[in-house]
Amino acid sequence: MNWIPSIPVIALTVLQGPAVAQPLDPRTEADAYTVYASLNFKPGVILMRETEGPQYRACSDFISGLSGEWRQVAQDFRDKNSRTWLLQPGAQGFEYRLISKAEIVADNARVSKQYGVRPPQLAPERIQYVALSAVGFNATRTKALVHVERRDGFNLVQLIRSGSRWVRDPKVKGECGGIV
């Protein structure tokens, strides 16, 4: 009869469900939105509303291999991307439109049905969007790490603060990226 006390714990775990995504507030996370703006998207870019960390093992291995000053950034990146954040409309720095992950999944299903088993990645009628991760920073917020994924590829970008701007770190030798 030892199993009876554990039933409420199991039920509670099931009833809690997944963590609810929190808004990524542009007022308290202005640095994150400034990093996003530094990625030089075309005006009106469509961003997936929900943040999403790297989906590829190569990027996880790359992040784990960061050392020196980047180790702290990597840890903050992992911590922030252990949950989903909701990007907010009208944040500073660049013009964008938000679309939910559910809308993207529905669009993928529609195009898959049209083309059969696997549609071309860049079918012209597919929604062309960019998915961003949460941004990891060092304690002084002078280094940042962000994952960017498009229909055709992905990159893990290491940036450093240069005045009020964020630029790619010229000292970085290699990065995680590829074609989907």
Residues 25, 101, 97, 93, CA torsion sign: positive
CA-based diameter of the chain, in Å? 65
Does a structural domain hold residue 164? yes
Does a structural domain hold residue 15? no
Does a structural domain hold residue 103? yes
pLDDT at position 2 is: 46
pLDDT at position 20 is: 82
Does a structural domain hold residue 16? no
DSSP string, 86-149: E--TT-TTS-EEEE-HHHHHHHHHHHHHHHSSS--TT-TTS---EEEPPPEE-TTS-EEEEEEE
CA distance 135 to 145: 6
pLDDT at position 1 is: 45
Does a structural domain hold residue 89? yes
Residue 57 tokens read as 């093992």
Single pTM value for the model: 0.84
CA distance 107 to 96: 19
Q: Per this entry, what is the length of the chain?
A: 180
Interior CA angle at 168 toward 176 and 81, to 5°?
Answer: 55
pLDDT at position 100 is: 97
pLDDT at position 115 is: 75
Does a structural domain hold residue 113? yes
Report the domain count for the chain. Answer: 1
Along the chain (180 residues), what's the average pLDDT of each consecutive run of 10 residues?
A: 44 51 94 94 95 88 92 97 95 89 91 69 79 97 96 92 92 78
Does a structural domain hold residue 2? no
Whole domain around residue 121: which residue ranges? Answer: 21-179
pLDDT at position 58 is: 81
Does a structural domain hold residue 11? no
- CA nearest to 45, candidates 106, 130, 114: 130
